[in-house]
Structure 1
Amino acid sequence: MKRRTVLATALAGAVLATTALTGCGSSSGSAGGKEVTELRYQGSVGAVTLPELAADLGYLGNVKLKWIGNTISGPQDIQAATTGDTDFGGAFNGAIVKLAAAKAPIKAVIGYYGVDKDSYTGYYVLGDSPIKTARDLIGKKVGVNTLGAHHEAVIKTYLTRAGLTPDEIKQVELVVVPPVNTEQSVRQKQIDAGALGGTLRDKALAHGGIRPLFTDYQLLGNFTAGSYVFRNDFIKKNPDTVKTFVAGVAKAVEWARTTPRDQVIARFQQILTKRARNEDNTQLQFWKSYGVNGKGGVIEEKEFSTWIDWLKGAGELNGKDVKATDIYTNEFNPYATGGGAA
């Protein structure tokens, strides 16, 4: 079975599971009008997510987070939220578009990661690699963290802009590699190029011997790339909890943006130490930015419409009509009206 078919099957399964979940009334929600105040979520190894930072800073009020494990895949994370295995999840906006097109009852509520001059993903090759242009990738293997998300969308945008035909683009093989293994896979020549972002990118660059073929920042400039989503039924039953969560994460976005970098990293180190998950914390020293473009993570329509247009052009939406404004809401974000989190 082709990888894309596997992804499509997983998305469809997530939607069917959510339908059953909602139908039998077993989804997370309030009992007798009382709202949920504990949110289940997935984390990231050796990193501090914005909700975790918000919780540690005391910005989530009476809302608590319950870590149930880690994920390396945005599509998997939002599928878990869609099926009710978690209460919220985050992914590349293009992946959210695809899930929404499959009629998943979800809503994006705040941006949580993006691309800027400090926070970006590069597609790296060995320093002496003969690969120097997009055309040189034909017949080669490129490592990405998952299919159907940010890394795939960016590499295919790069190839398309370079003039490769759809048939030539199909000859560039995308291989799923966990981000923590990408550097090693490139160095051992298991793949010809690999997507590296954030602290893992800077850690790999510090080791030397690799160079970027291109970066998503060079290709697309500043933009918020991913959002957190909740199920519609969860939002309906727990509007105050969602509002508290969004306001807290929004405030954490601005705290990380305005606080001196060394202080942010020190806070991250404290959080990793306190949670005691036996993680490698060496990548934290390379942190520079979450890359969120909008103030407080406010979502702009173009952050979804850009990927709707791209997915339509690539034939990924199968003729389905998807509107950006139906996928997200800023109603819970205090920064959306020019204010801020109290």
Structure 2
Amino acid sequence: MKISFLAVVGVAAMLLAVLAAPALARSAKAGAHAVAKSVRHVQVKPKARLKAKPKARPWARLEKRKAAAEPATAARYRTFSPQQAKMAALRSSAVLIVDPATRQVLYQKNAGAVMPIASVTKLMTALVVIGAGQALDEVLTVTDADVDRLKYSSSRLRVGTRLARSQMLHIALMSSENRAASALGRHYPGGTPAVVRAMNAKARELGMQRTRFVEPTGLSSLNVSTPEDLARLVVAAQRQPLIRRYSTDPGHTIAQGRQATLYRNSNRLIASPGWHIGTQKTGYIAEAGRCMVLHAKVRGRAVVMVFLDSHGKFSRASDANQVRAWLVRARR
């Protein structure tokens, strides 16, 4: 009987499989035993419960941001109380609160920033005009030269109106009348260029090192200063009785021909019974935002407040009220 080659090969393979089966079984059993043994010795630790991070205090976050942004000045922010840190939410870009008697800085925010100051300029205009000793009853005439061709702002003071110098000062300080301020500058000895030189000279005299004036109304964004410099200006203005009286008058009526024009104070805080303001000035142009400076008394303590570039029509008054509330609490 003939046996084929393929049959022989098949038989041989079967024999090898039979002979190898016990060894494979032993090997598989040993492997399974090792795996089981290793599993028994594994200690599964319970999942650790994640602890919630304590919520950072608002003023702590402020300190961290300030320290990162201004390493050189971060130290002063570490001394802020919670109430002071809350005041960092003021909507004015630059703020300075200072005690004029002791020169103690009570709060500051970008106090050294050089910024446009808008009609706060008129405080310096009034200061140099009064200082020139010109007759307050001298009649000045509003001309076409006083019309605003820089911002094209409106005015209730008509070309051709004739008013005493005192009345021009009155409505310039109280209601921020631009044409009145321009007329005051034109009638200064030597005209507008001379009054601008006098304003810059007075700034240097007062130690306002980063202040510059180019015209007397504040319509130019090139009229710049800092909260620190403006605090010096406010203190100087407070010494002038006319500036105190005119800047805080609630309203004033002037005659233009046969018509009477009522001007009201541009500062809404003047009408607030909770405020005792000695000197004030507001200002606004697009480049400067809403600005306001005050010399006031809070619980019998004199304080100077400077707010520059406040965002929102009522935000500068809101900022001032917030500062006043903090000062009231601090004096208890």
Fold similarity call, TM over 0.5: no
TM-score of the two chains, using structure 2 as the length reference: 0.26
TM-score of the two chains, using structure 1 as the length reference: 0.25
State the structure with bigger RCO (CA 8 A, min sep 6), 1 or 2: 1
